[in-house]
Chain A
Amino acid sequence: MVAKTTKSKKKRVRKNEKKHAKTPEVKKKATVTNPDVDYDDGEDEAVDENIHSEGEEDGSDDERKHQKLLEAISSLGGKKNRRKKAERSEATVQMSEFTVNAEGEGCKINLSDLIGTMEKTPAVSIKTKKQLKHLRFSNSTLDSPLSKQETERIQRDLAFQKASTEVSRWQSIVRQNEKAEQLVFPLNKEYPGPKVMEQVVSGWQAKTPLEQEIFKLLSINKQPVHDPVLTPMEEASLKAMSLEEAKIRRAELQKARALQSYYEAKAKRERRIKSKVYHRVQNKSKRKELVKQFDQMVKTDPAAALEELKKLELSRMKERMSLKHQNSGKWAKSKAIMAKYDEGARKAMQQQLEVNKELTEKLVSSLNNEEEEDEEGDPEMLPDFVNDQEPVLDPTNPWMRGKLSKEPAEEEEERDSGEPIAMANPAEEEEQNEPEVEETEEEALLREFDAKRKRRQAEESDTVAVIHKVDDAEENGAESTGVVIVSNDDEEEEEEHKVDDAEENGAESTGVVIVSNDDDEEEEEELSEFTNLYKGITDSHPEENKTLEDVELLDGEESTADQMTVENHEVPVTENPQSEPHMTSKKRKRNRGLELTEVLTKDTKVIRVPMAPTAIENTDEDREEDQRDIIRQAFAGDDVISDFLKDKRHQEAAGRPVAVDLTLPGWGDWGGIGIVPSRRKRKRFTTKVAPAAPRKDRSLPSVIISEKRDSTISLFQVSSLPFPFETPAQFESTIRSPVGRTWNTEQTVKKITKPKVVTQMGAIIDPITRDDLVKAEKKAADDRQKK
């Protein structure tokens, strides 16, 4: 029994060894994990022997008898057994159960002791002895066995790996199912409906004699059974090109090739000629020819000519984009060095610059205007002087100075609306407020507007006086004013005359006053916008006059002269004494104002109507009220634009972030009256704010687009990107196409909204089996091969 057990033990150990040999990686782990197997090979053996011998000792009597018997038998044969089995026969007092005496029970036994005896015993094989010897000299100690937790963890890891490899085999099938548009459970069900034609046909064979005959005929004729594009015969015929044909074709090709090479050679030769004169002449002649051709084309084929022109335009654009003629090339640089001394070089450079100028000159079009505006510096940025002190406020109080008592935008507005002038001229202020006042009587209304106009007229004649006043006011202010030059002879009549002329020509009116005041630049700009605007209005006058006239005629009232309306619109030009000078205005043409004028003066087409409307009778009571409205509305047009502009500017200002000035006057300085914090300090204590994003309506002069965020819709929007998407654009594109029946055909809707999983009622859904796995793997492999 015992022997058996030992044998089995041995076996186990061997097995382990085998395993080690198989998987060297695992072996290490195993050695760590199984402390009982934790030996070198030699040692293993030794222990085996030990165990063996021990077992023999342990053996029961009958075994010994058996052994003896065997010995006897072997001796009978005369063959001497070289190995003498050791036999212990010490006399002991106590016999233990396991035939081990208890002698020396207290003292420890070293391994070496045992080994020592081992060497002497003949039963131990030589190999074992050697190993034991070797062991005795080796000093290395074994690692202590790992703790239980650690071994368990390692075991778990191993188990996990094993399981994961097992499970990952299923991955392909899982992914396939994931990919599938629709899964119908149970999965491997035969489709009960009608089958696809080809499936059925492929398995079909001609059986009846008729069928067989037909097939025979078809096959003889090499006719296609399935309907390919060409019969095999045709293909064959196509392949074979007759010899002559082939020859002709070859000759053609040869000729073409030869011609091409000739042409190329010629071009190369010509290109290599260094003579500039030659090239110049050549170019000139070419150009002439081109022009001639173009002229002819204009006569014969205008469409083509137009195309040609477009091409020219395109080439010009390309030139503009390129760096040609910019005097930045190698040649230009070399010339630039020589330019100082060489007249010719200078001339050449000049020429090139001219060409460049010509090229880069912008062609006037509405598109360009927009671009220009974009080029303009950011108007949203607040210049520093916005935070400057208000000159009108109490100059003695430094606290008042540092403070931003008003929003700068508002200030500007005030200035824009010409309030300082209005203060000087109380009549105008009154007039500004007047549109709000509404009187019930028609006539009163008309009278009012009349009066307004007259006042404005009067004002116009006062312009010079106004200028002086403003001049004085500016001198009073802290900032120094520039020189005020009145360009005209101060004679009102002439001035008026000029303005009229300008208006008639449709050109911009000449500036009246030149002001060179650095600090008021922005103010000026705003004003220039205004003036531009009004210029535009005056440009569009002919129509306006008509409209007003018509309205008045419609009312049956006597109209005030057209002149009045004309002057009415002139007023603003002269009203603002600081209107920009004519010379500098060129640069500022890019302002919005000009575009607004363009918008409002968009050339109108007059429509002729075959019938004229019959006059409206005024007798009806109900209409009286409307009539009044009509009048009011007709005259409201005067202020419409300025009101709108004001509104727009107000909104712009409201959206603009404001820099905060935290300067404390007198802090770290001498205190007292009249102390101005230094510029440096102000700069230091002003917190700069990032400029707001450009407004949506920045290029649309006559539009205000609200920049307010609509937060209600954000409740319905997706606020963070869902999982597989990387960019919002990807996500947006996937949800872009609609799903509903309103936008799609019924078939599409059905396809799109197909449920991902369908289970058939009453059908048993079996779990997936290994067979499926094999099938899936095969399929995947096929796919890979196909690829």
Chain B
Amino acid sequence: MATSEDTVVNDTHVGKEGKNTNKKKKVTPRYWQLKKEKKNQEQKTDAGQKKETTDDGQKSELAQQQTKEKKPRVKKRKHGGENQEGVQKKAMSVPQKKRKREAGNPQRVKKKPMLVGAKNKTQEDERSKKTGISGGKMDPFPGSAPVPEEKLKKFRRKDRLKLPSRQLYKLRRVMAQSQVVSDMAQNQAARQDLLLPEDAGFLEGDEDEDTCTISQEDITDAVDITSGAKYFNLHLSQFGPYRLDYSKTGRQLLVGGRRGHVACLDWQSKQLMCEMNVMETVNDVKWLHSEAMFAVAQKKWLYIYDSNGIELHCIRKFNDVLRMQFLPYHFLLATASATGFLQYLDVSVGKEVAAIGTKAGRLDVMCQNPQNAIIHLGHSKGTVTLWSPNQKDALVKMLCHQGGVRSVTVDKTGTYMVTSGMDKKLKVYDIRTFKPLQSYFLPAGASSLSLSQRGLLSAATGDIVQVYRDVWSTPVTKPYMAHRLRGPVWGLQFCPFEDVLGVGHGEGFTSMVVPGAGEPNFDGLDANPYRSVKQRQEWEVKALLDKIQPELISLDPGQLGLVDYAGFKQRHEDRVEALGYDPLAVDKFKPRFKKKGRSKSGNIEKRKKQVGHEDTREVIKKTVEDRMRIEKQMAKEKEKRKSFSSQKSALDRFKK
């Protein structure tokens, strides 16, 4: 704070100081005060002026350099101040303008100093005669600190709409109110978004050194012990390739070997929570909403265990599950099966929400979009399909590869999708527009992909894991990191809130250190890695209360805030679809069969017509009645209004 004040002062007076006066000055923030002091010193040092000029010349240069360095910051502050305080703006305007002028145009300032000095001298003298006391220190930046624009932009929730005319005062009031509220929310959120503002640390190689050649051992040697301990291997060669899952907070790890070995552990303390062999093929493992329960997709059915390894449920409705995804805010477990079914299980009530036959064969590629809870499935036909539990067919079907799709992943913000296919390509899509952004050719193709919270992409090719930085914006030519494992990779996941990549492979599990992967700022109310049991329980209750219904899953999560434009017809159709029959349908008249030749076709037709006519007559009658009634009412109202308006007012005389 002090430095910035100094700079302001320097800023304004550098020119003068450099040119005509020489002073050893103790800089004080009030510039009028400074002038005065300056003058005083001037008077004092008039005699010894020539001696000190050289010294001061150097000094002023230094000062100039300083100001140059700090200028942008200072300017910014000024700007913000102007934007922020409307009231104070007026008061400030004069000095600020002056400052700006001086700062922006040093030449002109240089021209003037003689005059200014002369004038000030006299004033200063007067003042010094009168007083011996100077005023108190003033805040040079009055009002609250301004919030940077980018941050404000980050928290902007809605666009500004033009306020309606004053005649619609109620609407105007409501809208103005909401605007004020949203502005306040935006400002406060931006102001509080201060945590860890530095950039994430990434690996930096020496000159001519690729970061991808740095081995894990090197990294562990370089970093502190706790971080170094995050690189470890679990040698589990017996039960074959492992799949893994980190819990939402990133503290717990769940590994499931293909041959039935399931274990969950607190991976940081290496404390084993449970370990068992389910004696069956394990296709996938997944934590449920908390670390108390997890789901295991076994050979035939889907099982749910608690963290002690006790079997809680065997869900027979879910068979041949190959891949699972858990939607944490909806409490939905989505499963993709070998029979081509995509099923949703609501784990909070234990009910199957939806079962969708995708008609796309074996589903072994699956991921979720964390932003809108849409499930992405990859198919052998090179397509990626997007699903919600509310529609029986795919919301979107994209052709991504010429071969089958091997892996899909979506980034945290729901903006980018990365796919890899049998054609050995790695493609990056913008899934808001469904347009391709980048396409890479990997010599060996990528069998599984994973994106970290900060957008690092890990791709597994055979027994090698590569990590890429920033695959979407700039074309990448080489990986950021690479690591060879003992066996072919089977599962891959970045640990949330940690710079760690977990890899499940044929010979067990490896936890790699990937600098810059995890989000350093966690939301303590959402996923707190350091929460206690009590906090977890509390969170669980709150999360359940905040549970989002599966009906709200759609491509655009903001759809809930839109007005339903559907007309009567559309709504009726929806209703018919929901009910299974048309509640407004009227049975068609079927003429009764009459004997004695009265059911000749002509007679039947006549009868039909009669009924038809009667119906129409009724309808007409009704409409006419309605119209009459409305007209009557209108007339009545009109008359009433007239009777009121017929009263003469004093102003009527001006009417023409």
Check: A719 CB closer than 8 A to any chain B CB.
yes
Q: How far is the CA of A444 from the CA of B461 in the complex (A)?
A: 28
A747 touches B525 (CB 8 A): no
Check: B438 CB closer than 8 A to any chain A CB.
yes
Specify which chain B residues have a CB less than 8 angstroms from the CB of A632 in the assembled complex.
380
Specify which chain A residues have a CB less than 8 angstroms from the CB of B463 in the assembled complex.
613-614
A179 touches B173 (CB 8 A): yes
Closest to B425 in A: A604
Check: A371 CB closer than 8 A to any chain B CB.
no
Contact segment of B50-58, B285-293, B397-405: B397-405
Within residues 393 to 435 of chain B, which ones have a CB less than 8 A from any CB in chain A? 393-404, 422-427, 434-435
Given contacts A600-B402, A613-B464, A737-B185, contact A637 B422 (CB under 8 A): yes
A745 touches B192 (CB 8 A): yes
B130 touches A221 (CB 8 A): yes
Known A157-B644, A647-B397; 15 more pairs at CB < 8 Å: A220-B130, A224-B135, A229-B92, A238-B94, A605-B477, A613-B444, A636-B403, A637-B382, A644-B399, A697-B434, A720-B563, A721-B563, A734-B178, A735-B561, A736-B182
A704 touches B397 (CB 8 A): yes
Given contacts A221-B133, A609-B464, A610-B482, contact A229 B398 (CB under 8 A): no
Specify which chain A residues have a CB less than 8 angstroms from the CB of B127 in the assembled complex.
233
Given contacts A220-B131, A551-B422, contact A710 B188 (CB under 8 A): no
Q: How far is the CA of A235 from the CA of B537 in the complex (A)?
A: 64
Q: How far is the CA of A138 from the CA of B509 in the complex (A)?
A: 121
Other-chain contact of B388, A233, A633, A710, A733 (Cβ < 8 Å): A710
Interface string of A209-230 (1 = CB under 8 A from B): 0000000010011011001111
Q: How far is the CA of A221 from the CA of B129 in the complex (A)?
A: 11
Given contacts A544-B423, A704-B397, contact A711 B440 (CB under 8 A): no
Check: A25 CB closer than 8 A to any chain B CB.
yes
B399 touches A640 (CB 8 A): yes
Q: How far is the CA of A719 from the CA of B164 in the complex (A)?
A: 22
Q: How far is the CA of A632 from the CA of B397 in the complex (A)?
A: 21
Q: How far is the CA of A262 from the CA of B397 in the complex (A)?
A: 68
Top 10 A-B pairs ranked by shortest CB distance?
Answer: A613-B462, A633-B404, A736-B158, A711-B574, A737-B182, A724-B171, A717-B564, A737-B157, A702-B399, A728-B563
Other-chain contact of A719, B396, B434, B482, B564 (Cβ < 8 Å): B564
Specify which chain B residues have a CB less than 8 angstroms from the CB of A738 in the assembled complex.
157
Specify which chain B residues have a CB less than 8 angstroms from the CB of A717 in the assembled complex.
559-560, 562-564
Closest to A544 in B: B402
Closest to B114 in A: A244
Q: How far is the CA of A2 from the CA of B434 in the complex (A)?
A: 104
Q: How far is the CA of A724 from the CA of B165 in the complex (A)?
A: 12
Check: B112 CB closer than 8 A to any chain A CB.
yes
Q: How far is the CA of A518 from the CA of B192 in the complex (A)?
A: 69
B439 touches A604 (CB 8 A): yes
Q: How far is the CA of A725 from the CA of B123 in the complex (A)?
A: 62
Check: A712 CB closer than 8 A to any chain B CB.
yes
Taking the nearest CB of chain A, how far is it from the CB of B326, in angstroms?
19
Given contacts A544-B402, A705-B434, contact A713 B551 (CB under 8 A): yes
Closest to A160 in B: B644
A637 touches B403 (CB 8 A): yes
Within residues 433 to 492 of chain B, which ones have a CB less than 8 A from any CB in chain A? 434-436, 438-444, 461-464, 466, 468, 475-479, 482, 484, 488
Given contacts A227-B138, A637-B382, A732-B562, contact A724 B185 (CB under 8 A): no
Taking the nearest CB of chain B, how far is it from the CB of A355, in angstroms?
35
Given contacts A633-B422, A733-B178, contact A709 B212 (CB under 8 A): no
Q: How far is the CA of A744 from the CA of B644 in the complex (A)?
A: 52
Given contacts A604-B440, A711-B578, A714-B574, contact A751 B184 (CB under 8 A): yes
Specify which chain A residues have a CB less than 8 angstroms from the CB of B441 in the assembled complex.
543, 604-607
Specify which chain B residues have a CB less than 8 angstroms from the CB of A543 in the assembled complex.
423, 441
Q: How far is the CA of A224 from the CA of B181 in the complex (A)?
A: 36
Q: How far is the CA of A547 from the CA of B402 in the complex (A)?
A: 10
A744 touches B398 (CB 8 A): no
Within residues 593 to 642 of chain A, which ones have a CB less than 8 A from any CB in chain B? 596, 599-600, 602-614, 616, 622, 629-630, 632-634, 636-637, 640-641
Taking the nearest CB of chain A, how far is it from the CB of B546, in angstroms?
8
A637 touches B94 (CB 8 A): no
A644 touches B173 (CB 8 A): no
Q: How far is the CA of A230 from the CA of B438 in the complex (A)?
A: 59
Q: How far is the CA of A721 from the CA of B564 in the complex (A)?
A: 9
B560 touches A607 (CB 8 A): no
Within residues 624 to 646 of chain B, which ones have a CB less than 8 A from any CB in chain A? 643-644
Check: A283 CB closer than 8 A to any chain B CB.
no
B171 touches A718 (CB 8 A): no
Other-chain contact of A608, B403, B478, B551, B578 (Cβ < 8 Å): B478
Within residues 194 to 227 of chain B, which ones have a CB less than 8 A from any CB in chain A? 210, 212-213
Taking the nearest CB of chain B, how far is it from the CB of A308, in angstroms?
26
Taking the nearest CB of chain A, how far is it from the CB of B433, in angstroms?
8
Closest to B402 in A: A637
A709 touches B476 (CB 8 A): no
Check: B383 CB closer than 8 A to any chain A CB.
yes
A230 touches B94 (CB 8 A): yes
Specify which chain B residues have a CB less than 8 angstroms from the CB of A494 in the assembled complex.
none
Taking the nearest CB of chain B, how far is it from the CB of A183, in angstroms?
15
Specify which chain B residues have a CB less than 8 angstroms from the CB of A411 in the assembled complex.
none
Taking the nearest CB of chain A, how far is it from the CB of B170, in angstroms?
4
A748 touches B188 (CB 8 A): yes
Taking the nearest CB of chain B, how far is it from the CB of A764, in angstroms?
31
Q: How far is the CA of A733 from the CA of B479 in the complex (A)?
A: 44
Closest to B460 in A: A613
Taking the nearest CB of chain A, how far is it from the CB of B211, in angstroms?
10
Check: A234 CB closer than 8 A to any chain B CB.
yes
B571 touches A716 (CB 8 A): no
B158 touches A741 (CB 8 A): no
B393 touches A741 (CB 8 A): no
Taking the nearest CB of chain A, how far is it from the CB of B63, in angstroms?
24
